[in-house]
Copies of this chain bind each other. A is one copy, B any other.
Amino acid sequence: MLDFPKDGFNALTAAEIARRVSAGEATAEAVVRDCLSRIEAREPTVRAWAFIDPDHAIAQARALDAGPVRGPLQGVPVGIKDIFATADMPTALGSPIHAGRRPAADASCVALLRAAGAVILGKTVTCEFAGMEPGVTTNPHDPGRTPGGSSSGSAAGVADGMMPLALGTQTGGSVLRPSSFCGIVGFKPSYNAINRQGLCFAAESLDTIGLHARCVDDIDLCAAALTGRDAEPGRKPDSPPVIGLCRTPMWQTAEGETVEAVEDAADRLAAAGAAVSEIVLPALFEEIPAARETINCVERARGMAFEWNTARERISPRLRVSIEKGLSIGLDDYIAALETAAECRRQLAEICDGLGALLAPCVRGEAPEGLEETGDPAFQGFFTALHVPALTLPTHKGPNGMPVGIQLVGHFQGDRDLLALARWAWDALEG
């Protein structure tokens, strides 16, 4: 992880912040002020924020400090990807078309965070409509490299110590890729696990709300608040897990550092006691990348009908290409793609029976140089299309010292067990 100064509240975990604020050992205001100081120092370089109003963040914190403890995220500052509606801040969706727009209501996940005691710190930079056209954010490890996308500001801000938690969304690889590029933990839950009211869709049968944090326990704390369960800090499997090493059909696109990360992780997890075996997926899974692209483009084209019809010239050329592709795909091909994905989900459930998780590549390699591209979503998008929960851990480094994550993939609706296994894996790889 990035070696940012650790002397402020902003460097604490979300769990520790909530504990201290709830216990009266710290004020939410002091926590927010430390986050704002870090942002003030680093924002000119990192550019993680689409909107932030320090006074409004402090006012939220003071309101929390003046009342009773609201919930398990008491006083925790959270960054919200600017693809979620917020009633008290603009919601621009990374597009000039919606610049300055103020929704009437919070997205449900934002409202649930507030009810749990979180401070909504601000709106983080998103790629245009959560797609592939970058925003202005840089990688906090190297401002000449992409932070990944589309949840660029959320991942960069958490990695940089601006806040301990952020919301993202993943349609292809928009949570796990920037998390891996920025060297943090990223979690895409099972499809439909976190309510999407108030989310601007990219492709609604893929879009999944995800989380960025610097440790698994913080992911769990936030996921618990959003899904109405208790957090399970420190929970691990009762015995060393059975892990399937799944190179995926895109393995040949992995760069050296990702090959090394995945194989090293497999070796060390095995050394720690895991039963690791190679899983080769059936040939049908080779159709997933094309099916995902079809679903993504068709649903993108439909979902953006308003912008397409009223403000086409203010959509980026890159996104226009996706929409045009979506418009050119016939309904039968779209339905066939949905059916391919559904059939692979059924097969994956059988293949993973008896496994604790899959270990897979997360990214091609280190964050690429330049800010014009956010990287290849193939390894992340593969599992997004399969609707299974996936998590990246910042376990490795590439040849330029940039972070390279591994990906752990769980059973559909087995989110809590995946988090438990991820804690075990983290200890095995970093402990």
Residue picked from A104, A227, A298, A310, most chain B C-beta under 10 Å: A104
Do A106 and B195 have beta carbons less than 8 Å apart? no
Contact residues in B for A228 (Cβ distance below 8 Å) = 298, 301-302, 327, 330-331
Do A106 and B229 have beta carbons less than 8 Å apart? no
Residue picked from A101, A192, A331, most chain B C-beta under 10 Å: A331
State which of A51-59, A109-117, A250-258 sits at the interface with chain B: A109-117
State which of A198-206, A266-274, A275-283 sits at the interface with chain B: A198-206
Category for how many chain A residues contact B: 35 or more
Chain A 292-310, CB-CB to B under 8 Å as 1, else 0, gives 0000001101111111111
Q: A108-B303, A114-B309, A115-B309 known; A196 and B201 CB under 8 Å?
A: yes
Whether A284 is near chain B, meaning CB under 8 Å from some CB there, is no
Do B302 and A229 have beta carbons less than 8 Å apart? no
Interface of A, helix, strand, loop or mixed by DSSP? helix
Number of copies: 2
Do A413 and B339 have beta carbons less than 8 Å apart? yes
Whether A315 is near chain B, meaning CB under 8 Å from some CB there, is no
Q: A327-B228, A413-B338 known; A306 and B106 CB under 8 Å?
A: yes
Do B306 and A227 have beta carbons less than 8 Å apart? no
Q: For residue A303, which residue of chain B has the nearest CB?
A: B197
* Cβ-neighbour of A195 out of B104, B197, B299 (below 8 A): B299
Contact residues of A with B, CB < 8 Å?
A: 87, 98, 101, 103-112, 114-115, 192, 195-198, 200-201, 204-205, 227-229, 298-299, 301-310, 327, 330-331, 335, 338-339, 413
A-B contact pairs, 23 of them (CB 8 A): A98-B104, A107-B306, A108-B302, A108-B303, A109-B305, A110-B306, A111-B305, A111-B308, A111-B309, A112-B305, A115-B309, A195-B204, A195-B302, A195-B303, A195-B305, A197-B302, A197-B305, A198-B306, A228-B301, A228-B302, A228-B331, A229-B331, A335-B413
